[in-house]
């Protein structure tokens, strides 16, 4: 989220929601400008006015994200949904047949590993965005995602 190009890419979508395993709702709201109601993740626990240093544990696996994404997809009533992730815990969501799944991978080694996992061949040479098997897209950065979205006519909601 805090990477260059995030805000420009999000501006291409009608709505942006965030699902996260590792970041708190407070942090995400501060750095992403996404409304708190559109953030699904763990929150910092409070004791009065002070934080305890502990987190709620509502989103702990990729499957938790998958279930939440299913609710979001159902709520938009057939609108196109893009899911953008950056780790292997995002694979269940990226592979959903009812979303356009995208992984932001900055290294060729990450792309090679994902391609092998999916039984696909990773491209050799320079790439900004590439589609692998099962409808999975890989992009180098938020700018490459923006270019991919602009080439598509399906850009209504991103998660």
At residue 157, the pLDDT reads: 52
pLDDT reading at 154 higher than 60: no
At residue 153, the pLDDT reads: 65
What's the mean per-residue pLDDT of the chain?
87
Contact 145, 139 (CB under 8 A): yes
pLDDT band at residue 3 under the 50/70/90 scheme: confident
Contact 16, 39 (CB under 8 A): no
Domain range summary for the chain, segments of one domain joined by +:
6-156
Contact 80, 101 (CB under 8 A): no
pLDDT reading at 155 higher than 70: no
Judged by DSSP in three states, 89 sits in: helix
Beta-strand (E) ranges in 13-159?
A: 15-16, 18-20, 39-41, 44-47, 50-55, 81-85, 100-104, 129-131, 137-139, 157-158
For the record, the structure tokens of 12 come out as: 């291409």
pLDDT > 90: percent of the chain: 38
Q: Which of 11-15, 44-48, 92-96 has the highest mean pLDDT?
A: 92-96
At residue 118, the pLDDT reads: 86
pLDDT band at residue 139 under the 50/70/90 scheme: very high
pLDDT band at residue 114 under the 50/70/90 scheme: confident
Predicted TM-score (pTM) of the model is 0.86
Q: For domain 6-156, give the fold.
A: Rossmann fold (3.40.50)
> Cα dist. 57→20, 38, 44, 61, 68 in Å?
11, 18, 10, 10, 14
Give tens-digit pLDDT for 47-106: 999 988 888 888 888 999 999 999 999 999 888 999 999 988 899 999 999 999 999 987
Contact 20, 28 (CB under 8 A): yes
Give backbone dihedrals phi and psi of 118, rounded to 5 degrees, phi first.
-85, -5
Q: Which of 29-38, 55-64, 103-112, 141-150 has the highest mean pLDDT?
A: 141-150
């Amino acid at each position: 989220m805090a990477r260059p190009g995030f805000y420009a890419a999000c501006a291409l979508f009608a709505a942006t929601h965030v699902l996260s395993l590792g970041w708190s709702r407070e942090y995400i709201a501060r750095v992403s400008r996404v409304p708190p109601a559109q953030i699904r993740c763990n929150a910092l626990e409070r004791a009065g006015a002070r934080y305890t240093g502990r987190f709620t544990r509502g989103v702990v696996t990729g499957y938790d994200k998958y279930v939440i994404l299913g609710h979001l997809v159902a709520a938009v009533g057939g609108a196109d949904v893009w899911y953008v992730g950056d780790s292997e815990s995002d694979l269940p969501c990226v592979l959903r047949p009812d979303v356009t799944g995208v992984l932001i991978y900055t290294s060729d080694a990450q792309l090679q590993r994902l391609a092998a996992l999916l039984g696909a061949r990773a491209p050799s040479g320079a790439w900004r965005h590439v589609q692998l098997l099962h409808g999975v897209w890989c992009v180098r950065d938020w700018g490459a995602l923006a270019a991919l979205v602009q080439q598509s006519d399906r850009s209504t909601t991103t998660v």
